[in-house]
């Protein structure tokens, strides 16, 4: 019986540690003391909705759909903005940069990023969440043929 208690105890601590982050927005208005204590930012994840990273991409115009979700709940979160950069590492030269235009998509948490892959090879796309509450940075790699 003692063993069971020992197992359950850390689990309940875990649940306590996780719950405030999930409901930060709800908690904020009702209990200001807790907000100041939990001032750390919530962690978000940026998912690539399209294109399929495994799919072969052709050189030229490219459109990506990115979705920001709360890492704890998996629910899409409406963040202030998303910075997206596209670059290609070049031998003996500075990285080649692609211009990326980001616009919010219709669905909450989603952004459309359009760029131009001007060269065949590996492109690194980095998406960074800009938001007072959520923090995330995710890198995606595309093989452009
Ligand atoms: Cu290049």
Averaged pLDDT for residues 133-144: 95
State the Cα–Cα distance between residues 79 and 110, nearest whole angstrom. Answer: 9
Judge contact between 63 and 125, C-beta under 8 A: no
Topology annotation, domain 41-144: Immunoglobulin-like (2.60.40)
Distance of CA 77 to the CA centre of its chain: 10
Q: How far is the CA of 9 from the centre of ligand 1 (A)?
A: 54
pLDDT category at 39 given cuts 50, 70, 90 is low
Sheet holding 134-135, edge to edge: 101-104, 110-117, 60-70, 42-50, 134-135
Ligand 1 center to 104 CA (angstroms): 28
Query: For the chain, what are the domain ranges?
Result: 2-36, 41-144
Q: How far is the CA of 108 from the centre of ligand 1 (A)?
A: 34
User: What confidence score (pLDDT) does residue 52 get?
Assistant: 87
Residues 141 and 132: beta-carbon distance below 8 Å: no
pLDDT at 127: 98
Query: In Å, what is the CA distance from 40 to each residue of 47, 63, 101, 135, 136?
Result: 22, 33, 30, 10, 13
Statement: residue 71 has pLDDT above 50: yes
Cα separation, 114 vs 122, whole angstroms: 17
Spatial separation of the C-alpha atoms in residues 38 and 90, rounded to whole Å: 43
What pLDDT, on the 0 to 100 scale, is given for residue 15?
40
CA of 96 to the centre of ligand 1 (A): 5
Helix (H) or strand (E) holding 111: strand 110-117
Residues around ion ligand 1, judged by CB within 5 A, are: 88, 90, 96, 119
């Amino acid at each position: 019986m003692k063993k069971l208690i020992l197992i359950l105890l850390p689990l309940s601590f875990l649940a306590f540690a996780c719950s405030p982050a999930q409901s930060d927005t709800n908690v904020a208005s009702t209990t200001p003391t807790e907000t100041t204590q939990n001032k750390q930012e919530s962690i978000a994840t940026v998912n690539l909705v399209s294109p399929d990273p495994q799919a072969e991409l052709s050189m030229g115009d490219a459109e990506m759909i990115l979705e920001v979700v709360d890492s704890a709940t998996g629910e899409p979160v409406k963040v202030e903005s998303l910075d997206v950069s596209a670059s290609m590492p070049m031998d003996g030269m500075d990285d080649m940069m692609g211009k990326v235009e980001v616009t919010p998509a219709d669905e909450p948490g989603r952004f459309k990023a359009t760029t131009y892959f001007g060269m065949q090879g590996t492109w690194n796309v980095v998406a960074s969440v800009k938001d007072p509450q959520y923090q995330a940075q995710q890198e995606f790699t595309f093989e452009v043929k």
